[in-house]
Amino acid sequence: MEKITAPSHLLTRRRLLQLSGMSSVGLLLSSCGTSLLSESVGSLTEPLNLKVGELLLKPQTPVPEFPISAIEPQALLVNGNPTPQIDLEKYRLIIDGEVNQPMQLSVADIYKLPLTSMVMRHVCVEGWAAIVQWGGVRLRDLLNLAQPKSQVRYAYFQSADRDSDGIPFYESWDIASVLHPQTLLAYQKNGQPLPPDNGAPLRLASPIKLGYKQSKWVTRVTLTSNLIPPKWLTEIASASNWNARKGYWIDQGYEWFGGI
């Protein structure tokens, strides 16, 4: 089975901040149009904050977790689009794109996979945070079942909720963040089944990303070698500029990398 591996980096998060003189808050709030790295970033299809995010991220280093006693049951707020109605009997998680074994998994299939549970801080860009216990499947374990090709660098996520124009919520991540050992597709919250308002049957949960990157109601994961929207997104969008889309909130001005 061919597995994808996250790239290693020589600079630590602390050292990069020392060299640059920038705070982590400044990095998080920088826009996608910043001239921070100017022409050295690389491909024009990549957001300018990608290389900074890659340097800050330690791909396989776990973030310190919290004890169960630290959970804040009432602190996790519900925001975003209205909760979609999902038939769990018909639900299938599609894993496709640049993979050798495209897959469609039912809820029962996913429940058979090893459960990983962790207590982490969920941070919203709007200024609030909550300590939550998420339980689910490591995303990297799911993707390895589909046998990703070696050139994969990104993942696009499709969700069941749609905006007023009928466009599904969509998001994209770098592959190093996708493969992080604490990135989950979660179906539990605080030891109980994940409520629909919080993203059931599956949602992204990771301590290395801000809340707007953690898609709820995930129905599809598409792996790509380029940061270009997959056909399932471009085929339902009539606007000519959809080939440049990278995420629902990112396309409204939020930072693409969205790391913590």
Domain-wise residue ranges, the chain: 64-252
Burial of 231 (0-12, 13-18, 19+ CB in 10 A): exposed
> Is the CB of residue 170 less than 8 Å from the CB of residue 156?
yes
pTM summary value: 0.79
pLDDT reading at 8 higher than 50: no
pLDDT reading at 103 higher than 60: yes
Could you please report the per-residue DSSP string of 52-110?
A: HHHHH--TTPPPPP--GGG--TTT----SSPPPP--TTT--EEEEESBSS-EEE-HHHH
CATH classification (class only), 64-252: alpha beta
pLDDT of residue 107: 97
Q: What average pLDDT does range 84-105 have in this prediction?
A: 97
Q: Is the peptide bond before 62 cis (omega within 30 degrees of 0)?
A: no
pLDDT reading at 19 higher than 70: no
CA distance 43 to 132: 37
pLDDT of residue 239: 53
pLDDT of residue 59: 62
| Number of other CB atoms surrounding residue 12 within 10 Å | 13
Q: Where does the pLDDT of residue 101 fall: very low under 50, low under 70, confident under 90, or very high at 90 and above?
A: very high
CA distance 97 to 146: 10
Q: Lowest mean pLDDT of 9-18, 60-69, 102-111, 249-258, name the range.
A: 9-18
